[in-house]
Amino acid sequence: MKDGLLGSINDGPPKDPRKAAGTPGLDQQVLISWVFIFASITLTLGFIFLQIFVHEPTSYFAAWPNVANMTFMASCLAWLAGFMLLQHWVVYAVALPVCSGGFIGCSLKLVAAVFFNMQPISSMWEEQAATAGAGSSDPMTTHTGHEPGTSFGFDWSNLTGICLFHTGNVFSVYSMMQAQTPENPAGFNYRELWSHANLPAWGMWVYLLATTFLVTANALAFFADEQIIADEYGLGWPLTGWFQVIGGSLLTIGSFVYLYWSTATNANGCACITP
């Protein structure tokens, strides 16, 4: 075997340095990152549509409330698909122990995605059809007696889902911040904080910050709707809307961090675990 700049003659073309460096399931991580980018962008758009609907009663989104619902539905389905792929990656590519923080965190987020889907589905069911709204000359009500656009479906499921997502991120951050040692080569490198190998941990911190904003926004909206707190601090409160958009935007940024980590060539080696 003769080695050179073009690699070993008998071994064929040179290997992808990222794969040779120890990044497990690289191609699947790239796919997961793109799925989460789509989920995050559509979630942020859904929040923007929702806030326009709340603050502009004569807007397009008020006349056709299911536009926001269908945008949320696309996002929630993407989150579910992404976490199913991530759980597969955690189990089969990196084989994390069931009792590990990474496995628990990913499992919680997968369950969260199931709850996420319940809210837009139930809200669209309440609307009965995407055409319910200002185009009708007769008064319309949903099957539960609400006027079109006045019911947001199972809002409790959204709060449950984001709390599970946030808790899963806490487990993931705790797991990924364990110090890098010979026994734990995938740990956090505290000597080189901004190294390529640490990008998944920083991405997860961004995710954790995002869900902190989203838990706050969802709690305000839910408790105001249940009249536990004053209605003025609910969905129509400007701070609630800003928290929603900021949270969705941070999820998008975090997803791009993972995309960069999984696609950028890393000649120094990377054996990171991204639960």
State how far the Cα of 143 lies from the Cα of 146, in Å rounded to an integer: 7
Average pLDDT of the chain, as a whole number: 81
pLDDT at 193: 92
Q: What is the pLDDT of residues 140-184, one digit of tens each?
A: 444 334 444 455 677 889 999 999 999 999 999 999 998 888 777
Percent of the chain with pLDDT over 70: 77
State how far the Cα of 153 lies from the Cα of 75, in Å rounded to an integer: 16
pLDDT band of 185, cuts 50, 70, 90: confident
- Indicate whether 196 pLDDT > 70: yes
pLDDT at 56: 87
Of residues 116, 208, 118, the one with CA closest to residue 162:
116
Structure tokens at 137: 């000359």
pTM (two decimals) = 0.80
Over residues 109-127, the mean pLDDT reads 86
Structure tokens at 173: 């951050």
Max mean pLDDT range (49-63, 70-84, 261-275): 70-84
Give the Å distances, CA to CA, from 9 to 6, 13, 16, 18, 21: 8, 8, 16, 21, 21
